[in-house]
Each structure stands twice: as C-alpha cells, then as structure tokens.
Structure 1
Amino acid sequence: MRPSFVTLSIAAAVAALPGTPLGYERALLKRALEQRTDGNSSTASCLGDVAETATAPYTNVWAQISAEDNRAVWDFVHDPALGLNLTDPEEATQTDNYVYFIDTVPVNKTDVLAYKAGGPPPPKYARVILFQGGKADPDSQEYMVGPLPVSTTTTIQPLDYLYNGGQGGRVPFNARVFDGPRSAATEPLIAETMSSIADITAALFQGSVYYGSEDERTNLSATSGTPQSFDGTQSFRSILFRLPGVASYLTPIDFYLLIDCTGTDSSLYFLKGFVTKERFFETEVELRAAFDAGELVQDYQQTLDADWALVNHKDDMGQRDLEDRFAPSSIELGGKRYKVDPEAQYIEYMGFTFYLSFSRTTGISIHDVKYKGDTVLFELSLQEALAQYGGNQPKAANTVYHDTYYSLGTDMGTLLEGYDCPFGSTFWNVSYHEANTTVTNTDSICIFEHDMNFPLARHRTGGGSSDYGFANLGVVKGAALTVRAIATIGNYDYMFDYSFHLDGSIEVAVRASGYLQSSPYYANQTSWGPRIHDATMGSLHDHIINYKADFDIVGVNNSLQVSELVVANVTQPWFPELGTFEQMKMNVSYKAEEEQFDWAPNNQAMYVVLNKNETNKWDQPRGYRIVPGRSDIHLSIANSPWSRDNAAFVKSHLAVTQQHDNEPFSNSIQNVNLPWAPQQDFAEFFDGESVDDTDLVVWFNLGMHHFTRAEDVPVTLYSEAYASIVFAPQNFNDQAQDGDLLNRRWIVPNKTATGEYVLEFENYGVPLPTCAVQFSEPVLGIEVDVTT
C-alpha cells in the first residue's frame, strides 16, 4: 500500500520576509510547518529516494566468500575421498566429526597492496572449523580451503598461521565451543540431579522445578556462561536457574548447579555441588540436610509476573504531557549527498571513499578509507566485545563473555526505519553461511547522513550593532555520514556506529541496551550491585569493546607521535617581577617499539599517527590524531583466573604493533575457554619490533564500567551506556576542511545613507529546500499507511 504524504513546502522568497536574518530563518521554518498537503504534491521527497550510484574503483577484496563458494566448499570437505569422516551437524553428537562453520580467511594486506599496485587479485580461501569428536584425541581444528572457486587445484590445510598459542588452529575438545551436541551430552546429568531434588526447589522457589529442558513439568530455565575450561584439560559448567520467559535474564533464583563435564564420555560427568543461600553443598545429602533443618528458606522471592521487565509502555507510569505527538526525526531534506555501489559495498561521501565487509564473527568492517584521495586507514574493525562480571555467586564470579564466540555478526538483525535509523536511510542486507546454505538478514546495515545538531564552524566578527546585536556572521552547517549495525547478542543489543565527518574526522561509537545479566539479591552483597527488583540484583560488570585501526597515512610507513604537556619552570626577561614561574610546554617523542599503554593522566598527551615523509604546505608531517571520546576504558581487573592470559587486549587503553599478515586479530573466537593457555595471546604481539616509520596498527578499547542501577530496568539505556573515539586530521591538510562547503550562511549588516541597516544574506546557491516527506511503518514485513 502506498504511504500517505506529509509535505513541507519551503519558499525562497527572501524579500517578502521582514526582520533580521534569524527572523528570516524562523519565518521559513514556521511556514514549512504550516503548509501541509493532501499527498498530491509533486515536490521531491525529503527522504531523497535512493542514493546515487557510484562505481567502486576495484573489486572488494575483503568481501566474504559467495554462497556458491560456500556450497562448493561444503561438498569438498564432505567428499569421502578426503577422509574427514564428517557427519551432518543436524545429526551429530559430540563424539562425531562435523562442520561447525564456514567463513572467510582474512585477506593478507601484502596481497591487497600488490593488487592495488597492478598485481593479480588476492586468492580467496574459506575458513572452515571442524569439530573432531571422533578422533582418538578429539579437538577442534580450523582449516583453510582454497584457492576458490573450488577446482582441481583446491586443497585443505590447517589454518595455523593466524594463531600464536602454540597449537595453531587447534583447540582441545574441552575448550571448544559449547554447542548443541555438547549441551545435549550434559543434559541427562542436569535433569537427573535436579529431578532428585524437585521437592526442595518446589518448596523454596514457589513450585519451581527442573526435570529436563524437554519435560513438560519443567518451569525453570538453565543457563551457564563462559569460560567452561581453564586450559583445555578440563571442562565444567556453573549453571544458574531462572524463571523462564522473554525477560528471564532479570528473574534468577538463588540456586546453582556445578558439574564437571570433562571429555567426550558423558557417563563420566559428575556433580561438583550445589550453591544456595551463599553456601556450597558438595552432595545432595548435605543439601537435603540443610533443607530439612529449615536453613534454606529464601529471604526474597522472585516475582512470577515478568511484565515489569518487558520493553513496553507501562500503563501504571502514566503518560508525559505531549508524548502523544511524534518525536522529532532527522531527514535528508535536500536529498542524499552520498553515493553507493551496493554490489561492491563501496561508499563515497564528501571527500571520503571506503569499502565495507562483513564477517559472521566480528560483523561489519571498514576498509581502504581515503579522504580527498589520500589514504587514511587500511582497516577499521571490531575485534571483540568482552564483558566480565563480579559477584559472590558462581555464575557472576565465573562469567566472562567474548561475543565473537557466539558469532556476533550473525546476530546483526533487521533495523527499524525511523527508530533504529533515520527515515530515508539506505539499508543493506548481511549474509552468512550456515552448513551448506546461506542466511540473509535483511536491512541489517543502515547508512544515513544526519545533522550534527551543532554547526561545523561559526564566528561573528567585529562589534555588534544596537539594531541587530551582531556584525558579520559566518556559520557552516554540521553533518556526518554514519554506517550503523546493531547486534543482539543474548541479553544485549550493541549498536556499532562508524561516522565520517565533514572536516575529515572519523568517529567510532558503541552503545549498549538490553537486559542485565542479574543475580539473586542479598542484602549483604551491595558491593556487587544494587537491588533492582523484588529478588533481583544488578550484577556489576565491565563491557570492553576492542577495535583495530590499521593506519596508512598517505602510505604504509607511519609513526606514532606523542606530544606530552609538561610543567616547565621558566624565567622570561620581560617579566622580571615574576622570577621563575610555571608554564606548560610540549615534549614531543615517538613510540619506538610495540607497546601497550594508557591515556595520559588528565589527557595531557596527544597521540598522532603520522607520516614523517609526507608534509603539508607548512612543512608539518601529515597525520591523524587519536582523540579520546566518551568512556575510553580498559578492563578493571588484570589477574582474574577467568581472563588471566586470554584477554590481554582489553587490559590497556591503547596498543601499537607492527602490522603482520599473521596478526589480523587480537583474539580468537574460541579463546574464551582458554584463559590459562590461549589460542591467541595478544601479549605475544609485543616482541620488541619497531613501530617508527613502518607499517603500524593501533588497537583501542571503548566500553562501560557498568555500575548497575534501578534505571537499567527493564533495559539499559543507549543514552548512558555509550563510548566513542575520534580520529581527527592533524596537519593532514593545509587548513580547516570547511572552506569548500556550500552549506553555510554569510550575513553582513550594511548601514545605508539614511541610517537604516540592509542585510546582505549569502546562501552560496543552497537555499532551503522544498520537499515532501513520505512515511511508512513496517509491521511484520507489511507496509501500512501512517496518516499524519
């Protein structure tokens, strides 16, 4: 069905409007709001229809393998002649060999640079993880299959070169992803144990029992986090029980089951114990004795009605005045000012050009960023989203999440126009491979230009006049292009933004909204978080999001300059009466070797990635400054047994390393279960190599120390859980990058012979637009009319 129209008609008759320039602008806005038509207007759409088409200068070499290649690789590895003895994952148990997933081997930078210099396209390889439970020494092994497309020259070989932990792409069975078959193997022990104490849980928790996940009598849900091993020699689960439902993260009960599930023989799995009332019971006999003695009566009972935890309108909270009106929206009044090549995932905007790519594990990445033809970044990509919890309970104390472990990219779902992204955004799908098929998540990336809600530049010159309050006024409109995706990973919706600003700066931001992973409430545990409902405590935790920025500032040879503000005690002969006094001055140095480091106290240091061999007009080395934004943090704890050696990448604000093709990632997707013997040890990246005048990579962390609160119910709010960083030109140009922008106003009041003022108003050929706004609201995939 065709949507209705709301038309904003903006006239350009400047002479007809009296008053000051500010009055002129306000009058135009007032007229725009008053003029609404019946939908038959022939004016252009304010939403700009579709973006104009660009043509990518070369093939997107970072793109994932195609659906056709995925199917061919699937058939290749299942060929009996290859001898891998693979079972269909739908039929597999943990003692079988089967494909966990197929993705894409990251392309080598050296190959890309050679291709851009006129060489052949880089070869394409599939990244295949096989779970090999049927081997004498069961494990998980990554393989590379290629070159693609599959042909007589295609081979399979271990994908070992990406990892430095000593076993290459191999992960011991006990540390591999705890997938469906492994969970199924532990279910009989869990069901048997909980069934035998159903009378206890029913008495303590309002009739709550667990007889197994498929048993109709069960009215509890079981959950366990990671890690589930320390070094791959053992495996365990710390299981928390919750009331089921869409908001189960907020309805835990105070009952934990600890089991050992080492190895592939589930008959050897055993109970480690129970935890409730802050007490550990090694056996059912001990638990039952305490229950019979009346020692386990709960102080707080979890609510059975979870409506309070739903993200819906709460009638009991009433309604704010005027909230029945539609909220303000950002729209592209003048039409889209960016161009795209959807097939190549290539974008052009106001001097910027760049490519996108997608991975099932890390989501979207940005590649080959240029500003006005000069290279800035070879790669800007998410590496990991880590969360570590604290608490005096097994689940909270034990929990460290690495979200790539859950294939973060596959959780980038459909975005709602007008709410997740502005009306009129450009939407792209993402696709990933599952077994021998390819899954497409529709409208999972949005691209939009938006008002910054502040001018890019502004200044009034000279003194004011009594009639107008100012003399000359120059103001430049602020705008940016944002690429956005939102990944719903279990209980959190992470919003990932990459924004390109008119001045040449690039901003990376992340926001978190969603259900807290909560714990049962105890009055004596407030150091782990506050009470947020009847029997629920918000568990204290850190969110740390790790990124990679492979800078190529006008070439690959770069350096990291540090300009530190220090206190200098000086004397100056023109101030003899002051003697020695303090001044600030700048000590400039360069990072010599690979290093992890933190932001300087009080932000009294500037970090610039620059090219010593390329200078601007003023003979200054061209570079980009790394500007801390909001909440640039690192992990609060450094020596937890749950993140001891597999999380070095989140234990500093920043790091700089020399670029190597065999160090494309700071982490590995199966590292979370190897905190004592990591597959990928980021600390090993720092081996004394030079980062001066060479190809370097900056790694940085954003995130939130989540001091949980009642306002996290029902969900954490994006407005508060927000972190950002900016890369800003630092002598990259010869002057500020606003002089070539036409979206500006220059206003000069000139006094006539009669003493009156005449306003000279220059719009540089960009008048306020005349356009129509077209809205539609999708409901279950169906467009319906919204009459405004």
Structure 2
Amino acid sequence: MSLTRLVVALAAMAATHVIAAPSNGFDSPDVFGSMHKPRSCGKGKGHGKGPGKGHGKDCDHFQTCDNYGDTPTTTAPKENVWGPITPADNVAVWNLLHADESLNLTDPSKAVLTDNYVFWIDTLHTNKSDVLPYLQGTVEEPPRKYARAIIFRGGIEEPDSKEFMIGPLPVGPETTIEPLDYIFNAGRGGVVPFNGRVFDSVRAAATEPLIVSVMEELADITEKLIGGVFYGEQDNRTTLAITPDSPMSFNGTDSYRTIMFRYPGIATYLTPLDFYLMLDCPGTDPSAYKLKGLATNSRYFTSIAELRAAWDAGELKEDYQQVRNPDWVLMNHRPEMGKRDLDDRFAPQSLEVGGKRYRVDKEQQYVEYMGWSFYLAFSRPLGLTLYDIKFKNESVIYELSLQEAAAQYTGRNPKAAATMYHDTHFSLGVDVATLVEGFECPYGATFLPVIFYTANTTVTHPNGICIFESDIGIPISRHRNGVVNEYGFDNLATVKGSALTVRSIATIGNYDYMFDYQFHLEGSLEVSVRASGYLMSSFYYPADKGKYGPRVQVATQGALHDHIITYKADFDVAGTKNSLEVSEIVLVNQTQPWFPGFGTFEQMELDISTMEKEQQFNWGENGSKMYCIVNENERNAWGEKRGYRIIPGKSNVHLSAKNSPFSLRQMPFAKSHLAVTVQHDNEPYANSVQNSELPSTPQHDFLKFFDGESVEDEDIVLWFNLGMHHFTRSEDVPVTLFTDAVSSIMFSPQNFFDRAQDGDLLNRRYVVPNEETGELDFEAYGVEAPTCKLQFPEPVLGIEKYIIE
C-alpha cells in the first residue's frame, strides 16, 4: 500500500514571543514562601517584535520555564481497546464492501437515488463484557475490533438504509459482513426506511429541480419581496441560500422538506427571509415530488397561483428589509465601540510554568494525572469519549461519553416551529477541528489529533483535542487556626487548587460546542459544555410581541430554543456492582427533652432510600435530594458505603416540549434530568444517528430500556442531561458567548475515602507567625515557584488528508 498526502498544513507561523515571569516587586512575603528583595526585569521596554526582544532580552539570567517542555510519557497498562480502527482497516473494510457483489455498491461521489452506496464507516462500540476480562487480567488477548458501516440502498426493491458490522479486524479469512441489529431495539434492527434515512447530498440534489421550478416561476416576486432569487445552488444568478431542515419525516413512510431562504455568505444564519417552501419528496422517483405549499407574510398558500394572486392584489409586502451587508456579524475588532483602558496589554494566561504534571501515552491515548488515569477514544457520531477512569488505582467510571447534542426551536413560521436537530445525525465528531493555542487552550497545552474517515480517505485534524492543567482560581481548601496574636495573625493552611482539562470543540453548522472533562485533585470529576457561534434565527414579526424571542437586528429575531446535551456515565464505583442511593432532606416535627420550652419544632432529617427499578427522574426541588452511586459491598473505615455523589452544576435542564410531533418518541432521553438503567452490551447508546428523521417511529427507543429491571447491586448506567434554555438576546450578535451559555455537572467522592484527598498534596503553604518577631514563616514543603522566562510560539494550524491505496 502507498500513502499519498493530499492536503498538508494550511498555515504555519514561526514567530516567537518571549516574556519573563515578573517578581513581586516589593519587600514582603510572597508565593515563593520566603522573604526576598525586589528584582527588576528590564526597564519597561515591552515584549518587542521577535525573539530576544523586550523583557526576555533583559532577563537572560532567568532559566526558561518548562511550559513548552515535552509532555512526560507513560506506558498504558493495557491496550486501548476502545480506540478507533486504523486507516488501513478503514480502507480494507471499504474494499471488502465494494468487492461484495451482493451489496452492488456505487462510488458515493457518483451515486444517485437509485444506487446503493456507503454513507460512512466508523468503529463499532466494543462490548463491555468482552473488555472487562481483559482489563482484569483473566484473559491475555484484547477483544478484536469491528467496524460499522451505514449503507444506503436505493437500488433494492424496497429502498432503505441498513447498518452492517464488519470484523474481526484486520480484514482476513475470519472477517465477515453481517447486519448490525443488536444495538437497535425498535423492531427493525439496523434498517431504516428510505424516507427516514439521513437526508444527504444525494437526496438534496434530487429535490433541487423542484425547488428551482417553483422559484423560477416566482423570481419576479421574490426579487421584489425578499430581495433575491433562486435558480439553483450552482447557478451564478442565484442570490438566495437554502437552510438545512430536520426532521424530514415522521415515520419513514412520508418525506418532506421545509425550506426557509436566507442571504448567502458569512451572515446567512442571521439573515432569515420571510419566504418558505414546503415539499413532499418521498421515495426514489424525483418526478413524483411535488409542492405542498408556500408561506410568507404569515399566510399559507397551497399553490404558486394562489400566492401570485395575493401578490397581484397588493396583499404581500415586507415591513422590514433584511440586512444583506454581513459586516454586522463579523467577529472582528470594532473600534467604533470604544477603547478599554489597558486592553493593549497581553491578557493573563494559565501556564504550566513548573513543567507538566501529567503523563501521556500518545499511541494508546492514555493519560495519568495526580492519581487519575483514563483512556481516550473518538468516534464519528459522538466525538471524544473517556474510558476506564480511575482515581488512586480504584475504578470510578467505565465509560463517560456524549450521546446526543439536540436543539429544538419554536416560532410562528414553518421552519422554526418544525426544527428539531440531532447533531449526531450530522456526525458531530467530524466537526471537531483544530484548536487555537493560547485562546482555546492554554499555551503549552498537549495537543492530540482527531482522525476520522470519509469513504477511503483519512482526515486528520492535528490539534483537535487538548490536555492541560490550569489554576482553578481557588484553593482546594484553607483554614486559619487558633487565636490571633499581637501581630494580628495566626496559623493558616492553604492548598493550591488546580485541575486537568481534556477539551474538544465541535462546530456543527452554526453552533460551536466546547466539551470539557475536568479532573480535580481531590477526586472530583466535572463535565461541562459551552455554546457559542451564530444563532439560527427567524424573520422578525412584530405581531409576535417577543413570544418566540427578541428582535436582534432590523429584520431578525433571535429564535427561542432548547439545547439538550445528553451524556452516559457507566459508573463502576469500586467495582461493577453499584446502587443509586437517594438522600432526601425532609422536614419533621419533633420534640427533644432538652428544649422543653419549644414543644414540637421543625427540623431537617435525611430520608435515605435506594432506587429499586430502572427509571427516569429529576433533581429535587430546592436541591433537596442527593443522588449517589454507591457500592453496597465496599465500606470505608467508618462503615459507610463508598460512593460518588452526582452534583448539579450550572443550568441542568431537560427538553421543554413533552408532546411536540417533531420530538415525540425519538428522544425521550432528553425529557428528564437523569435516568438510571442496568448496563447491557445491546444498550450502548441512548440514541440512533438516524432517529432524527423518525420522531413517531424511532429506530432505537430509549424508553424500552426501562423494562422493570432491578438497579440494586447491579452494573448500572447513569444518563444525564446538560444544556440550556436559550433565551436569546441582542448580545448573541455576532455570536453567542461561552461565558454564560454553559452547563455542568460534577461527580465527587462521597465516603469513597476515609478523609479528604488533599493531605498528600505538596503544593500547599503552612503559615506560622514567629512568636518573638511576628514575622511569618512559610512552609513550602519543597515546592517553590520558578523564576523564568516564557516562550509562546504560534500554533501550526491545518488539516491533513490521506488516501491509502
């Protein structure tokens, strides 16, 4: 096989910025834990414009910090059995599928509706029952890998979409191609009706002639009414763009498109127009597709003639003209907004100046940090997943994975009212791209590539995942002891707070999602997601009076919507046999003999119970319920069940709509805060990547997970939702801000240990006043802050593509 590089790095900048870490600049105790005289570092020359300029030139006596030193390495104790199939495996699977005459496959780049072709190839989820014996050492060989493939079959008698599993890999005499049915539970296995399959470019191309025929006939009206025309996406006369829409079917027997037009270009998501087409487009015969209706001016028309009659009668006009100039949505610097004092100074940075305190086995995608260890994996639909998460060599979570990123919109127009996006449907993982060092990840972070496959091509985003340790801005713990002495000070102990973050950012159409997994020093694990990017907006109708969101531009309304991000946490707290314990604060009226004057009075108690059956549930009102994954068979030194507490963070919400026809049955996982089920190999996912188009008859039904099984002392899985009700605002222009569009959850030890896990950390200060002089003695435990200069090279940005032949 020959490896051919198709596209190399797009940009590489070699500039280097050098600064020096400043001293305190005053004669007093500081973070070094000692007294020292101030030291100057140059005379305010600034950073300069290249290596050797500015502070760095005047501070050559400082050593260079280890912020950009090599990441310490380690060797994973086991092979990463969850990692993706290799590029060679992908091509071998591709060739094997195309060599199978019974599949009768066409190259996707040449396919039409009546062809069979591969939609995508990815890695099949490895069964936990196969993995545990390998991890536990009862078997020596790791489980074999399998690929999964979705094949669109327009060329069979009853066209459909069908999934296959191919393996074991690498391809050899044992490898077979079999239907992938066992992970789907709605009765059709891996088969989806043709009308319910992903609406890909082939289907979109088949509907374009109908769109063009309608819009050509109405070109004189649309030019005057909405300021544009549509003759086809590749026609130079076209001045309008088409929106993507989802769902496009209810049950797989029908198929439709609801099209809203916008102005093309960078501002397209924020320039919706008041003109909508509704098409019926079922099956593989485009000649049978037809116009269902049109809408504009809050009126619905069943035919072109009906709309033209209203136009000729002077009944149609727009009160507001959409802005075509895109300057207002550019994310560039806008000096007309004013100048902020001192903003020309380099912003604070989180730097690993003492050297990296984590180790990485890059080949196995394995990480160790301050007692934590875990593996990374990546898939096309879900992006980043973490496995075998341990703290101090004890199991905590077997799998922590994103399951779905959904968004449901609302509005008084055909597009917003009917929009329900499932981002795994669009292959969320392929939208995880290069991160910008110093802005999206700290300078000196460790970067790992993201690799996925398109047909027989391997696509690599070199800096798709970053790992870094950062200051969390607070100490883990602190306390001031004793009585204040005559100098106004007593004993004080404080422990430095920091955490390791694993981050990726996926841009799915208009939105950018930042996914963080943060490992804290005392044993807590935090999961958070943030949203930025362009609003998917609606045309502004004054008659709505803000019911569906505020006006954010002349003719643009910020469309109200929900973001619901669903995760899976397969807990193995100190082993695989766990239970979900509920501690609820209840108020009781009681008497106590030492308070005779009060008689009966109200007091809090804990009502402690264990969930018995699989179920969906919500956070308690006023935070009155604590949910905890416990191991009934493992106790700490005080006889308490060892566990991990589930702590709600910012904006823990579930889907608002319970009975919408566009989200009726295909996403029940989004309709509660939490759910608990028993782990089964045939229930690896909450959703199917093709459920989006089947709201009334899903391919995979999460509700069928709840079949009365006991969750006491079992291998249990927690499903949880993060997200936000997006109350849109003017400040969402040009893009939504990461700062407040955030949701999080934390898992923290609950009697998992005998005491807090901060006593063994050296990064602490113990401050004791000298009884005679009053001077403060700082005990640093041998960990001193470095004095050094720092170098900030520009990141290399790019995308690499390879074909193996």
Which of the five TM-score ranges fits, normalised by the shorter chain?
over 0.9
Give the counterpart letter for 1:757 in structure 2: G
Pairing 1:100–2:119 present = yes
The match for 1:205 among 199, 209, 226 is 226
Q: Secondary structure at the match of 1:84?
A: coil
**Structure 2 Cα separation of the partners of residues 344 and 178 of structure 1:** 36
Q: Secondary structure at the match of 1:405?
A: helix
Q: Secondary structure at the match of 1:224?
A: coil
Aligned position for 1:396: 416
* 1:771 CA drift (Å): 2.4
**Structure 2 Cα separation of the partners of residues 763 and 34 of structure 1:** 31
The match for 1:271 among 291, 300, 305 is 291
Pairing 1:441–2:458 present = no
8 Å contact from structure 1 (residues 8, 33) kept in 2: no
**Structure 2 Cα separation of the partners of residues 420 and 178 of structure 1:** 33
Give the counterpart letter for 1:654 in structure 2: L
**Structure 2 Cα separation of the partners of residues 142 and 781 of structure 1:** 32
Alpha carbons of structure 1 residues 281 and 333: separation in structure 2 relative to 1, 3 Å: same
After TM superposition, list the pairs within 5 Å mapping 1:695-710 onto structure 2: 695-710=715-730
Q: Secondary structure at the match of 2:664?
A: coil
Give the counterpart letter for 1:503 in structure 2: E
**Structure 1 Cα separation of the partners of residues 167 and 796 of structure 2:** 43
Aligned position for 1:607: 627
Pairing 1:510–2:540 present = no
* 1:318 CA drift (Å): 2.1
Which moved further from structure 2: 420-429 or 322-331? 322-331
After TM superposition, list the pairs within 5 Å mapping 1:591-740 onto structure 2: 591-740=611-760
Aligned position for 1:541: 561
Cα deviation code 1:24-64 (max 9, x no counterpart):
78978986798933175661324141210010001000001
Pairing 1:761–2:787 present = no
8 Å contact from structure 2 (residues 517, 528) kept in 1: yes
After TM superposition, list the pairs within 5 Å mapping 1:257-268 onto structure 2: 257-268=277-288
Aligned position for 2:268: 248
Number of aligned pairs?
A: 772
After TM superposition, list the pairs within 5 Å mapping 1:293-308 onto structure 2: 293-308=313-328
Cα deviation code 1:57-107 (max 9, x no counterpart):
010000011101111111101114x41100000100111000000001100
Aligned position for 1:422: 442
**Structure 2 Cα separation of the partners of residues 28 and 131 of structure 1:** 73
* 1:619 CA drift (Å): 1.1
The match for 1:173 among 161, 182, 194 is 194
The match for 1:343 among 343, 357, 363 is 363
Unpaired stretches in structure 1, ≥5 consecutive residues = 783-788
8 Å contact from structure 2 (residues 27, 38) kept in 1: no
8 Å contact from structure 2 (residues 617, 674) kept in 1: yes
Q: Secondary structure at the match of 2:206?
A: helix
Pairing 1:8–2:27 present = no
Aligned position for 2:49: none
* 1:231 CA drift (Å): 0.4
Pairing 1:489–2:502 present = no
Give the counterpart letter for 1:687 in structure 2: D
Alpha carbons of structure 1 residues 438 and 19: separation in structure 2 relative to 1, 3 Å: closer
Cα deviation code 1:561-583 (max 9, x no counterpart):
00000001010000000000000
Pairing 1:360–2:412 present = no
Alpha carbons of structure 1 residues 43 and 66: separation in structure 2 relative to 1, 3 Å: same
* 1:316 CA drift (Å): 2.0
Q: Secondary structure at the match of 1:527?
A: coil
* 1:637 CA drift (Å): 1.1
8 Å contact from structure 2 (residues 32, 785) kept in 1: no
Alpha carbons of structure 1 residues 700 and 534: separation in structure 2 relative to 1, 3 Å: same
Cα deviation code 1:670-722 (max 9, x no counterpart):
00000000011111100000100010000000000000000000000000100
* 1:123 CA drift (Å): 1.7
**Structure 2 Cα separation of the partners of residues 450 and 764 of structure 1:** 21
* 1:182 CA drift (Å): 0.3
Give the counterpart letter for 2:307 in structure 1: L
Give the counterpart letter for 2:528 in structure 1: A
Q: Secondary structure at the match of 1:195?
A: helix
Cα deviation code 1:134-175 (max 9, x no counterpart):
000000000001111111111111100000111000000001
The match for 1:138 among 159, 179, 184 is 159
8 Å contact from structure 2 (residues 34, 778) kept in 1: no
**Structure 1 Cα separation of the partners of residues 787 and 346 of structure 2:** 21
8 Å contact from structure 1 (residues 48, 334) kept in 2: no
Q: Secondary structure at the match of 1:52?
A: coil
Q: Secondary structure at the match of 1:626?
A: strand
Aligned position for 2:50: none
Unpaired stretches in structure 2, ≥5 consecutive residues = 1-13, 45-54, 800-805
Pairing 1:109–2:133 present = no
Alpha carbons of structure 1 residues 194 and 379: separation in structure 2 relative to 1, 3 Å: same
8 Å contact from structure 2 (residues 401, 569) kept in 1: yes
Cα deviation code 1:726-763 (max 9, x no counterpart):
000001111001000000100111322xxx32322200
Give the counterpart letter for 2:529 in structure 1: V
Aligned position for 2:110: 91
Q: Secondary structure at the match of 2:542?
A: coil
**Structure 2 Cα separation of the partners of residues 781 and 129 of structure 1:** 29
8 Å contact from structure 1 (residues 7, 41) kept in 2: no
8 Å contact from structure 2 (residues 462, 798) kept in 1: no
Q: Secondary structure at the match of 1:683?
A: helix
* 1:450 CA drift (Å): 0.1
Q: TM-score, normalised to structure 2's length?
A: 0.94
8 Å contact from structure 2 (residues 434, 798) kept in 1: no
Alpha carbons of structure 1 residues 698 and 268: separation in structure 2 relative to 1, 3 Å: same
Percent identity between matched residues is 57
Q: Secondary structure at the match of 2:345?
A: coil
Alpha carbons of structure 1 residues 263 and 386: separation in structure 2 relative to 1, 3 Å: same
**Structure 1 Cα separation of the partners of residues 37 and 674 of structure 2:** 48
8 Å contact from structure 2 (residues 165, 178) kept in 1: yes
Alpha carbons of structure 1 residues 619 and 30: separation in structure 2 relative to 1, 3 Å: farther
Pairing 1:78–2:98 present = yes
Pairing 1:189–2:210 present = yes
**Structure 2 Cα separation of the partners of residues 406 and 31 of structure 1:** 55
Alpha carbons of structure 1 residues 342 and 125: separation in structure 2 relative to 1, 3 Å: same
Which moved further from structure 2: 444-453 or 38-47? 38-47
Q: Secondary structure at the match of 1:563?
A: strand
Alpha carbons of structure 1 residues 31 and 581: separation in structure 2 relative to 1, 3 Å: farther
8 Å contact from structure 1 (residues 21, 761) kept in 2: no
Aligned position for 1:157: 178
* 1:21 CA drift (Å): 5.9
* 1:5 CA drift (Å): 2.1
Aligned position for 1:786: none
Cα deviation code 1:504-528 (max 9, x no counterpart):
0000000000100000001111100
**Structure 2 Cα separation of the partners of residues 20 and 385 of structure 1:** 49
* 1:773 CA drift (Å): 0.8
Give the counterpart letter for 1:701 in structure 2: N
Pairing 1:519–2:538 present = yes
Aligned position for 2:787: 770
